[in-house]
Amino acid sequence: MSNQSKKKQNAYSVGARKKAFPWIVPFASVRLTLTLLSFSMILIFVATLEQVRIGIRGAQAEYFESFYGIWYYPEQFWGGSFLSMVPLPIPGGYLLGGLLIINLIAAFITRFQWSGKKMGIQIIHLGIILLLIGQMTTQAIQVESRMQINKGESSDYIERFHGVELAITDVTDANRSKVVSIPEQLLTPGNTLRVPGFPFKVRVQSFGPNCNFDFKESADQRSEITRGVNQGIGASANLSLTPMDEDFSNDAANFGYLVFQLINGSEEMGTWLAVAHPAGNDRWKFIHAKLEGMSFQPLRHQGKLWGMELRSIREYLPYSIELVKIENEFYQGTDIPHNFESHVNLNLESGQKRKALVYMNTPLRHRGKTFYQYQMNKAADYTVFQVIRNPSWLVPYIACILLSVGLLWQFSFHLIYFLRKQSKVSG
Amino acid sequence: MPFHIPKIYITGTVKLLLFPLFCFVSCTEEAEIQTYYIAPEYTGPVVAWKLPPTWGENPELSGPMAGSFHVKTNSGPQGRIGVMPFREAVSTLAITNMFGMELGYEKFTEDTLPHVLTTKTVGQKKFEWIHLTEKNNPNDPKMALLAVFRQQDETWLFPFVANAALINQEMDSFISFLDSTTVRAGEKIIRAPRPISAAPTSKPSGSPTWDAPDHWVVGQASSVRIASYSVSDENGNELDFSITSFPGDVGGLQSNVNRWLTQIELPKAESLESSPYLSPYKIDEKDAYLLLAENTEKTIYGALLFGKSRSWFFKIMGDTTLAKVEKENFLNLLSSVCFHDH
Amino acid sequence: MKFLKKYPLIPSALFAFGLYLAILPFGTTKASLLDFFKPEPAPKEEVIDLEAFSRIPVLRGGRVKPLDSVARNTLLVLRNKRSALDQNGTMIPAISWLAHVLLNPEEADKLKTFVIDHDQVLGLLNRKLAKDGKYYSYNELKPFLKEIDESARESGKLEREKQDSFDQNIIDLYRSVLLYRKLKHTLSPPAPPPETKMIEDLDLNTFFFDSDKDKDRTDEYSRFRSITKAISQDPSTIRIGSDEFGRVVFLLDHYSRSNLWSEFFPVPPETGDQKKRWRKVGESLVGEEPLDSDQKRNLDPAQFASLLQDLIRTDRVPLQEKVNFILTKEKLNPTALFAAQYAEAIKLRTEVDPILPLYEKLRKAYVRNDPSGFNDAVSSIRRLCEQRAPDQVTKLGFEKTFNAYEPFYRCSVAYIIIFLSACLSWLCLAINTAKFNANHSKSFKNVAYHLTLIILIAHTFGLLGRMYIEGRPPVTNLYSSALFIGWGAVLLCWFTEKYLRLGIASSMGAMVGFGSLVIAHNLSLDSSLNPTGDTMEMMRAVLDSNFWLATHVVTVTIGYSTTFLAGFLGLAYIFYYFIHQVLVSDTSDNKLSSLLSSSRKQLEKTLGSMIFGITCFSLFFSLVGTVLGGIWADQSWGRFWGWDAKENGALLIVIWNAIILHARWAGIAKIRGIACLAIFGNVVTAWSWFGTNMLGVGLHSYGFMDKAFNPLMSFIVSQMVFIGVAYLVTPLRSLFRKKQPAAK
Nearest to A305 among B20, B24, B47 (CB): B47
B243 and B293 fall within a common domain: yes
Nearest C-alpha in B relative to C300: B207
Q: What is the pLDDT of residue A250?
A: 65
Contact at CB, A300 and B49, closer than 8 angstroms: yes
Question: How many angstroms separate the CA of residue A338 from the nearest CA in chain C?
Answer: 5
Question: How many angstroms separate the CA of residue C303 from the nearest CA in chain B?
Answer: 8
Of A22-36, B9-23, B257-271, C694-708, the range with the highest mean pLDDT is A22-36
Question: Is residue C456 within 8 Å of C497, Cβ to Cβ?
Answer: no
B164 and B268 fall within a common domain: no
B233 and B159 fall within a common domain: no
> In this structure, is residue B137 part of a structural domain?
yes
A327 and A240 fall within a common domain: no
Last residue within a domain, chosen from A254, A285, A316? A316
Task: Output DSSP code: residue A127.
Answer: H
Mean pLDDT computed over every residue of chain A: 85
Query: What H or E segment, with its residue span, contains residue C97?
Result: helix C94-103
Contact at CB, B28 and A177, closer than 8 angstroms: no
Question: For residue A396, which residues of chain C lie inside 8 Å, CB to CB?
Answer: 627, 630-631, 634, 640-641
B180 and B221 fall within a common domain: no
Please report all neighbours of A, defined by 3+ CB atom pairs within 8 A.
B, C
Confidence band (pLDDT; 50, 70, 90) for B198?
A: very low
Q: Closest by alpha carbon to C479, among C512, C509, C517, C531?
A: C517
**C193 burial class (0-12, 13-18, 19+ CB within 10 angstroms)?**
exposed
Q: Closest by alpha carbon to C187, among C93, C257, C114, C101?
A: C101
The amino acid occupying position C165 is S
A237 and A179 fall within a common domain: yes
> In this structure, is residue A280 part of a structural domain?
yes
Q: What is the pLDDT of residue B59?
A: 64
Question: How many angstroms separate the CA of residue C468 from the nearest CA in chain A?
Answer: 19
Q: What is the pLDDT of residue C706?
A: 61
Residue B10 has pLDDT above 60, yes or no: no
Q: What is the pLDDT of residue B111?
A: 85
Asked if A40 reaches chain C (Cβ–Cβ under 8 Å), the answer is yes
Q: What is the pLDDT of residue B247?
A: 67
B328 and B224 fall within a common domain: yes
A116 and A97 fall within a common domain: yes
A305 and A327 fall within a common domain: no
> In this structure, is residue B242 part of a structural domain?
yes
> In this structure, is residue A146 part of a structural domain?
no
A292 and A353 fall within a common domain: no
Other CB atoms within 10 Å distance of the CB of residue B138:
8
Nearest C-alpha in B relative to A7: B2
Contact at CB, A34 and C662, closer than 8 angstroms: yes
Question: How many angstroms separate the CA of residue B82 from the nearest CA in chain A?
Answer: 15
Nearest to C662 among A33, A333, A378 (CB): A33
Residue B25 has pLDDT above 50, yes or no: no
Question: How many angstroms separate the CA of residue A69 from the nearest CA in chain C?
Answer: 16
CA pseudo-torsion sign C619, C625, C629, C632: positive
Q: What is the pLDDT of residue C274?
A: 82
Q: What is the pLDDT of residue B134?
A: 79
A164 and A312 fall within a common domain: yes
**How far apart (Å, rounded) are the C-alpha atoms in residues C299 and C684?**
56
Last residue within a domain, chosen from A271, A298, A316? A316
Nearest to C542 among A360, A381, A386 (CB): A360
A97 and A232 fall within a common domain: no
Mean pLDDT computed over every residue of chain B: 75
B55 and B150 fall within a common domain: yes
> Which long-range contacts does C29-36 make (Cβ < 8 Å, 24+ apart)?
C29/C404, C29/C405, C29/C406, C29/C409, C29/C410, C30/C93, C30/C404, C31/C401, C31/C404, C31/C405, C31/C406, C32/C405, C33/C405, C33/C458, C33/C461, C35/C401, C35/C404, C35/C405, C36/C398, C36/C401, C36/C402, C36/C405
Contact pairs from chain B to chain C, CB under 8 Å: 23
> In this structure, is residue A150 part of a structural domain?
no
What's the ipTM? 0.86
Question: For residue B5, which residues of chain A lie inside 8 Å, CB to CB?
Answer: 11
Last residue within a domain, chosen from B131, B159, B184? B184
CATH code, domain with B95: 3.40.1000.10
pLDDT tens digits, B93-133: 888 887 777 777 878 888 888 888 888 888 888 888 888 88
> Which of A159, A300, A301, A302 is the best mutation test for B, with the most CBs of B within 10 A?
A300
Q: What is the pLDDT of residue C704?
A: 44
Contact at CB, C663 and A34, closer than 8 angstroms: yes
Range of the domain at A233: 156-316
pLDDT tens digits, A173-183: 888 889 999 99
**How far apart (Å, rounded) are the C-alpha atoms in residues C141 and C118?**
15
> In this structure, is residue A2 part of a structural domain?
no
Contact pairs from chain A to chain B, CB under 8 Å: 131
Q: What is the pLDDT of residue B124?
A: 81
Longest dimension (CA), chain C: 112
> Which of B27, B29, B33 is the best mutation test for A, with the most CBs of A within 10 A?
B33
**How far apart (Å, rounded) are the C-alpha atoms in residues A241 and A179?**
27
B91 and B137 fall within a common domain: yes
**How far apart (Å, rounded) are the C-alpha atoms in residues C265 and C353?**
13
Give every CB contact of residue A316 below 8 A, 6+ residues apart in sequence: A156, A157, B36, B38
Q: What is the pLDDT of residue C72?
A: 93
**How far apart (Å, rounded) are the C-alpha atoms in residues C535 and C479?**
7
Nearest to B35 among A21, A180, A184 (CB): A180
Contact at CB, A333 and C696, closer than 8 angstroms: no
Average pLDDT score over residue span A107-124? 83
pLDDT tens digits, A367-398: 888 898 888 887 778 899 999 888 888 888 89
> In this structure, is residue B282 part of a structural domain?
yes
**How far apart (Å, rounded) are the C-alpha atoms in residues A387 and A368?**
10
Q: What is the pLDDT of residue C490?
A: 94
Q: How many domains does chain A have?
A: 3
Contact at CB, B33 and A175, closer than 8 angstroms: no
Contact at CB, A403 and C638, closer than 8 angstroms: no
A373 and A403 fall within a common domain: no
Q: What is the pLDDT of residue A274?
A: 93
Contact at CB, C303 and B221, closer than 8 angstroms: yes
Please report all neighbours of B, defined by 3+ CB atom pairs within 8 A.
A, C
Contact at CB, C306 and B218, closer than 8 angstroms: yes
Q: What is the pLDDT of residue B14?
A: 46
Return the higher-pLDDT residue of A399 and C593. A399
Nearest to C638 among A372, A396, A397 (CB): A372
The percentage of chain B sitting over the pLDDT mark of 70, rounded to a whole number, equals 77
A47 and A131 fall within a common domain: yes
Question: For residue A138, which residues of chain C lie inside 8 Å, CB to CB?
Answer: 639-641
A272 and A133 fall within a common domain: no
Residue B191 has pLDDT above 60, yes or no: no
Three-class HEC string of A198-237: CCCEEEEEEEECEEEEEECCCHHHCCHHHHCCCCHHHHHC
Nearest C-alpha in C relative to A423: C499
Confidence band (pLDDT; 50, 70, 90) for B15?
A: very low
Nearest to B46 among A20, A286, A305 (CB): A305
Contact at CB, C640 and A407, closer than 8 angstroms: no
Q: What is the pLDDT of residue B2?
A: 39
Question: For residue C623, which residues of chain A lie inside 8 Å, CB to CB?
Answer: 403, 407
Q: Closest by alpha carbon to B183, among B85, B326, B269?
A: B85
Low-confidence ranges of chain C (pLDDT < 50): 1-4, 699-704, 742-744
- What are the distances in angstroms from CA A122 to CA A107, A127, A361, C624? 10, 9, 33, 17
The percentage of chain B sitting over the pLDDT mark of 90, rounded to a whole number, equals 0
| Residue A119: half-sphere exposure toward Cβ, Cα within 13 Å | 10
Question: How many angstroms separate the CA of residue B144 from the nearest CA in chain C?
Answer: 43
Range of the domain at B56: 46-184
A286 and A170 fall within a common domain: yes
Nearest to B210 among C302, C332, C333 (CB): C302
Query: What H or E segment, with its residue span, contains residue A353?
Result: strand A353-359
Question: For residue B203, which residues of chain C lie inside 8 Å, CB to CB?
Answer: 298, 300
> In this structure, is residue B311 part of a structural domain?
yes
**How far apart (Å, rounded) are the C-alpha atoms in residues C540 and A367?**
30
Last residue within a domain, chosen from B184, B208, B230? B184
> In this structure, is residue A22 part of a structural domain?
yes
Q: What is the pLDDT of residue B187?
A: 58
Q: What is the pLDDT of residue C95?
A: 93
Contact at CB, B203 and C240, closer than 8 angstroms: no
Q: How many domains does chain B have?
A: 2
